[in-house]
Amino acid sequence: MRVFASLGLILLLSSCSDAPTETKVKEPEKPPAPVTAQQAFLSTYPAARMWAGDSLPIHIRSINLTDVPSEAGKAGAWEITYVSPTQQGARIYSWSAIEAPGPLHKGVFAGKSQSWSGSSGQEKPFAASVFRIDTPAALESAMSSSKAYLDKPGTKPPVNFLLEFTPRFQDPVWRVMWGETAGSAEYTVFVDATTGQVVGKG
């Protein structure tokens, strides 16, 4: 009887060892994709608050990348400048979908702290709570009010975004720019970042 019992135990163990083991297949890494301004802001904000508990954004700008094409209000990289009144300092935080030439690194990257003397210039810091309109909505508002410009023949420059708060408007405003910078843009629409209303064109 003991022989049959031992043989049964051996067969049971053998069948268990021959059972197929489940192997987990690693999912392929998703290709880099552009994000909206609010997504980039929310990625950098915790790091900025670690640097200075009273840090506030003073401007946000998009960076178009060749390897991660921009689309519908999204960009492959963003640069957010924060200031701290208590530290009298400023610091640039970037978010990038990829490693890129220059100061851009994949994910969140903090630049060096710089001195900041307060709101003596045109730009003023603003609370995150008033930044309600994200870039896809800002672009939609800008395009809906720019039919005459968009209908003109010819290739249009890539769209760029710049969020700033100046005495010209009562709220922080998106500059939706067809061109690289505020000074060189072919056409610009100003969209209130709190209400989403178009407040100027030029």
Q: What's the burial of 130, exposed, middle or buried (CB within 10 Å: 0-12/13-18/19+)?
A: middle
* pLDDT of 4: 39
Whether 65 maps to a domain, the answer reads yes
* pLDDT of 13: 44
Q: What is the pLDDT of residues 57-77, one digit of tens each?
A: 999 999 999 999 999 999 999
Residues 45, 128 contacting (CB under 8 angstroms):
yes
Whether 19 maps to a domain, the answer reads no
Whether 31 maps to a domain, the answer reads no
What phi, psi does 4 have (nearest 5°)?
-65, -35
**Domain of 128, in residue numbers:** 37-201
Cα distance from N-terminal residue to C-terminal residue, the chain: 98
* pLDDT of 202: 83
Nearest-angstrom CA–CA distance, 70 and 56: 26
Q: How many domains does the chain have?
A: 1
Across the chain, what does the average pLDDT equal?
Answer: 88
Whether 144 maps to a domain, the answer reads yes
Whether 123 maps to a domain, the answer reads yes
Nearest-angstrom CA–CA distance, 11 and 49: 63
Whether 46 maps to a domain, the answer reads yes
Report which of 78, 85, 90 is spatially closest to residue 37, judged by C-alpha positions: 78
Whether 47 maps to a domain, the answer reads yes
Residues 163, 59 contacting (CB under 8 angstroms):
yes
Nearest-angstrom CA–CA distance, 80 and 91: 8
* pTM, to two decimals: 0.84
Q: What is the pLDDT of residues 126-175, one digit of tens each?
A: 999 999 999 999 999 999 999 999 999 999 999 999 999 999 999 999 99
Which distant-in-sequence residues (6+ apart) come within 8 Å of 119 by Cβ? 125
